[in-house]
């Protein structure tokens, strides 16, 4: 989407030119799911689907910012959530930078909302990028990502990890991001041209709240508390071994949740090795194993996610498939031989829709840059 169009829509809605236009990408997570809030490793890839924010300082300066946009036009819940994200990041930013001016904002873009592609983080980071530009605040991606994480947690009541915000803020074109969620250090991983990443939107949506997501995090914290009884050096599930879990006295649900995280935390490094070698089958197997663990141990998959991944794996050009994002609905991804992408989509999409009667969307994504300022005129 052209930034000039977003600026034009801001002008029509607010009666003046925007002071700044910023954008941030969505992301897919190749592997490393529900490990970020356990101090672990993740391997997201920012994508060439973006959320745009055209914005100008709110007047008078002491009023709450107005938030509108094409993405929100027919969804009052989305309107309310977006206003909450904006107010959350504004509060967090003002703690570090007192006196910054709030911005009225028009939201637009080609990033599906509520699909597991981190649209909420893209909104928070794009708005933060605009805030920094409009208030002459230096842009430092990882510290801003921390503030955006805090703001989103306040807005949603979900104790989310740092992966989505860090990816949206700091992504790099052509690369996946191996992120150490304890140190917040990044290793850039070039994506092989021979392998395509296909997003498979199941057509189902989920809203994260204070229930399933937070329950899983609570299980992880309970497992750590039990392991610490015999291994006090443990700070998070990142530090836990399978042997630690065997020694700990855990109920069945807590043990299964912890087993997923402990095993999943090893997969990002293995995926980096596979991608560096262009080894599609090895990378795909890691994705298949991850999905099985999320389905059977962490229990965050869904019937539609399972069906779309199964349908993808039946195609000979597909190396592997898994849900991406927190789960409970939304999107899955498949690693596919780049030369066979068109045939893969033409074959798998109608097969999935025939099984589910759901309207789906399949599209190839490429690694894109993180948050940036956009030209407001064509």
| Largest Cα–Cα separation, the chain | 65
Q: Tell me how crowded residue 96 is: count the other CB atoms within 10 A of its CB.
A: 12
Contact 129, 141 (CB under 8 A): no
Structure tokens at 119: 């649209």
* Cβ within 8 Å of residue 233, ≥6 positions away: 239
> Any catalytic annotation for residue 164?
yes
d(C-alpha 1, C-alpha 23), whole Å: 10
Phi/psi for 178 (5° steps) reads -85, 110
Parallel, antiparallel or unpaired: strands 103-109 and 67-69: parallel
Specify the residue for token string 């060439």: 48
Specify the residue for token string 């490990």: 35
d(C-alpha 253, C-alpha 256), whole Å: 5
352: three-class secondary structure by DSSP: helix
**What is the H or E stretch that residue 43 is in?**
strand 41-57
Query: Which residue out of 39, 164, 201, 239 is catalytically annotated?
Result: 164
List residues with catalytic annotation.
164
């Amino acid at each position: 989407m052209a930034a000039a169009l977003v600026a034009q829509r801001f002008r029509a809605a607010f009666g003046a030119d925007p002071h700044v236009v910023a954008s941030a990408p969505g992301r897919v997570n190749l592997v490393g799911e529900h490990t970020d809030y356990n101090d672990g490793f993740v391997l997201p890839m920012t994508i060439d689907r973006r959320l745009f924010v055209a914005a100008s300082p709110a007047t008078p300066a002491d009023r709450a910012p107005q938030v509108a946009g094409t993405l929100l036009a027919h969804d009052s819940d989305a309107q309310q959530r977006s206003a909450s994200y904006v107010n959350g990041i504004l509060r967090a930013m003002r703690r570090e930078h007192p006196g910054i001016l709030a911005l009225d904002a028009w939201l637009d873009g080609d990033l599906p909302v509520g699909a597991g592609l981190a649209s909420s983080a893209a909104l928070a980071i794009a708005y933060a990028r605009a805030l920094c530009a409009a208030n002459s605040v230096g842009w430092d991606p990882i510290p801003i990502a921390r503030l955006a994480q805090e703001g989103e947690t306040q807005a949603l009541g979900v104790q989310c990890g740092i992966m989505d915000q860090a990816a949206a803020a700091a992504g790099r074109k052509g690369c996946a991001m191996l992120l150490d969620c304890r140190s917040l250090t990044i290793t850039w991983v070039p994506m092989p041209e021979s392998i395509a990443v296909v997003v498979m939107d199941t057509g189902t949506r989920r809203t994260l709240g204070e229930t399933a997501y937070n329950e899983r995090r609570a299980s992880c914290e309970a497992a750590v508390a039990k392991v610490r009884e015999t291994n006090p050096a443990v700070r998070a599930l990142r530090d836990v071994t399978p042997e630690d879990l065997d020694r700990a006295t855990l109920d069945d649900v807590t043990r299964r949740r912890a087993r997923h995280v402990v095993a999943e935390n090893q997969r990002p490094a293995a995926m980096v090795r596979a991608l560096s070698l262009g080894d599609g089958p090895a990378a795909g197997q890691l994705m298949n194993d991850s999905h099985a663990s999320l389905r059977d141990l962490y229990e965050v998959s869904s019937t539609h996610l399972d069906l779309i991944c199964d349908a993808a794996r039946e195609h000979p050009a597909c190396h592997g498939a898994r849900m991406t994002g927190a789960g409970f609905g939304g999107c899955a991804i498949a690693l596919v031989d780049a030369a066979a992408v068109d045939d893969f989509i033409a074959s798998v999409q109608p097969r999935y829709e025939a099984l589910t009667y759901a309207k789906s969307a399949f599209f190839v994504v490429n690694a894109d840059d993180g948050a940036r300022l956009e030209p407001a005129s064509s």
